[in-house]
Amino acid sequence: MLAVTGVAMADRKSEEAAIRKALGGNEVSSIEPAPVDGFYEVVIGPHVVYVSRDARYLLQGELVDMRTRENLTAPRRQQAVRQLLDGLDKADMIVFSPDKPRHHITVFTDIDCGYCRKLHSQIGDYLAQGIEVRYLFYPRAGRNSPSYRKAVAVWCAKDRKQALTDAKNNKPIPLKTCDNPVDRHMQLARRLGLRGTPMIVLEDGSIQPGYVPPEPLAKLLDGQ
């Protein structure tokens, strides 16, 4: 039995090494046996793929148990997203927090995005629902755009929360520069597959693309 176990472990190590080699420079954070025979579940950043034991075939998409109708991919993807966000320091965010937080969301925002502004105009309502809002920047027009420069200026302001509110209300703010996390925010957003703003990441790692009003969002969070 021990000999058989040892051979199985050696085979798995060899297969994992072949998969890592086949995936090249991709950041593989875990390789585990998949629910499907002959495949491994491979987590690359926030993404989950399935790779055959011989490292020849790669499957992308949702793996669904046809008997139970359960999506087997979503929980692993959400876990991977949570781990990425857990690695962030709140000191690198702009955080609006209620007196007694019940939930938190992470919001990738663009100062000049209409629905981002709508969301922020209701910040008091989100806080009243017990939702802490953690902002990260994603200027959609890219680096060195007016939106990017505003994001940097907000970060470099003495009162970041007030500067963010002013900028979203189209009030002029001093265009300062300083050491800032905006580029890191943008890199993370791309890794998460951001396609538009606002992008809301819930506590469980699930992603809500677009604006969600305060009350429905609170119900969504309560139901997790």
Q: What is the pLDDT of residues 133-152, one digit of tens each?
A: 999 999 999 998 999 999 99
Identified catalytic residue from 53, 76, 77, 110:
110
In this structure, what CATH number is given to the domain that contains residue 157? 3.40.30.10
* Position 7 in a domain: yes
Res. 44: pLDDT tops 80: yes
**Does 80 reside within a domain?**
no
Residue 131 in domain: yes
Answer yes or no: 110 catalytic. yes
Q: Please report the pLDDT score of residue 4 as a whole number.
A: 42
- Quick one: 159 and 104 in the same domain? yes
Same domain, 107 and 185: yes
CATH number, domain of 44, equals 3.10.450.70
In the residue annotation, 116 being an active-site residue is answered as yes
In a domain, 198, yes or no: yes
Catalytic residue among 112, 113, 117, 134: 113
- Using 50, 70 and 90 to split pLDDT, how confident is the model at 87? confident
User: 156 an active-site residue?
Assistant: no
Shared domain check, 96 and 66:
no
pTM: 0.85
Q: Which of 74, 101, 126 is the endpoint of a domain?
A: 74
Tokens standing for 222?
A: 């309560």
Q: Could you tell me the residue range of the domain that residue 61 belongs to?
A: 2-74
Has residue 204 been placed in a domain? yes
Q: What is the pLDDT of residue 11?
A: 82
pLDDT at 8 over 90: no
Asked about 112 being catalytic, the answer comes back as: no
Q: Catalytic one among 53, 77, 112, 116? A: 116
